[in-house]
A = this chain, B = another copy of it.
Amino acid sequence: MTDEQERNPAEPLRVGVLGARGRMGLEVCKAVDAAADMELVATVDQGDDLSAVAEAGAEVVVDFTTPDVVMENLRWCVEQGVHAVVGTTGFTEERLEQVRGWLADKPGVGMVIAPNFGIGAVLMMQFAARAARHFESVEIIEQHHPRKLDAPSGTATHTARQIAQARAEAGLGPVPDATKDEVPGARGAQIDGIRVHAVRATGLVAHQEVLFGTTGETLTIRHDSYDRASFMPGVLLAVRAVGDRPGLTVGLDPLLG
C-alpha cells in the first residue's frame, strides 16, 4: 500500500480511523468523509478487529485512541505497511524511540505523531520563536473558559520555553521591567523568565496572544480556537503528507514549512 510510485493521484486516498467513536475520532470521520480527495474505508474502536483496516485497503490510518492501546496499533500499522497519523497522547521519548525502531525496518512507511494538530497554534508558536530574537520585550496572554484546571495552559508554557531558548541563543538579556511596587501576581507567572498571564472567563474557548515590543512598535501574534473541529485541517494535512515522509515525523511543524 505504501509504494507511492504505484499510487494513482486521481484516486481518493483510502483512510481508516482508529478510536472512531471517541470525541476526536468522530470529528476525524466527518472531516475525512467531507474531503473530496479522501475516502473513509474503515472505522475501528474498542472491541473491533484491526484486520478490518487491512481488508478495506486503507493507505493511511488516523489514531485517536488511548495511551494503553496506541503502541500496539502502531506496531500493527508498520507491519502492514500502512502510514499513520497519530493524535493520541502520552508519547515519551522512550516510546518515540521504539516507534523509530519499528520504522527503520520498514523504510517505505511514514508516521506523523503530533501533540497538537491545530495549524493556527503550531504556526503561532513557530512565528513566536522566530520573532523572539528581534524584540527586547515579550509577554504571553492566554485566555480560556473558567473550567480549565491549569494556569497557564500547556501551549502557553511551551511557547514561553521556545521564546526563552530563542532569546538565549540570540544573546538577549532579561526583558526590561522597572516594576518596584507590585500587587502579588499582577506581573504574571514566570516561565523560563518569560511573563505569562492566564485569563479565565465564561464565553471564552481557547485563545492566546504573544506580544513582542521594541522601540516604538509592537508585533502581536494571536490564535483563537473556537471548537474541536479546529484540529481537522491539521489532521487532513498530515494524512495527505505522511505518504511522502518515510520514517517518523514529530509535530506538525515540519509539514508547515
- Asked if A59 CB lies within 8 Å of chain B CBs, one says no
Distance in Å: Cβ of A157 to nearest Cβ of chain B = 8
A14 contacts the other chain (Cβ, under 8 Å)? no
When the two chains form their complex, are residues B139 and A199 in contact, meaning their CB atoms are under 8 A apart? yes
Bits for A167-196, please: 1 = Cβ < 8 Å to B, else 0.
000000001111111111111111100011
Is B203's CB under 8 angstroms from A139's CB?
A: no
Structural contact, A151 and B203, CB atoms closer than 8 A: no
The reply to whether the CB of A54 lies closer than 8 angstroms to some CB of chain B is no
What residue of chain B has the Cβ atom nearest to residue A188's Cβ?
B185
**Which of A18-26, A74-82, A95-103, A206-214 is near enough to bind chain B?**
A206-214
Contact of A203 among B185, B186, B215, B257 (CB under 8 A): B215
Residues 211-239 (chain A) with a chain B CB within 8 angstroms: 211-233, 237
Chain B CB count within 10 A is highest, among A181, A211, A214, for A214
* Residues on the B chain within 8 Å of A130, using CB: 123, 127, 257
Which residues does chain B contribute within 8 Å of A148, judged by CB atoms?
Answer: 178-179
Bound-state CA distance A143–B118 (Å) is 22
| Copies per complex of this chain | 4
A214 near B233: Cβ-Cβ < 8 Å: yes
Cβ B197 vs Cβ A151 within 8 A: no
Residues of B within 8 A of A217 (CB): 118-121, 203, 223-226, 230
Given contacts A151-B182, A186-B152, A217-B203, whether A120 and B224 have CB atoms under 8 Å apart is no
Interface residue ranges of A123-167 to B (CB < 8 Å): 123-124, 127, 130-131, 133-139, 141, 143, 146-152, 157
Chain A interface residues toward B at CB < 8 A: 118-121, 123-124, 127, 130-131, 133-139, 141, 143, 146-152, 157, 175-191, 195-205, 211-233, 237, 256-257
For the A-B complex with A185-B187, A186-B197, A220-B222 known, give 5 more contacts whose Cβ atoms are closer than 8 Å: A135-B202, A137-B200, A215-B233, A216-B228, A217-B223
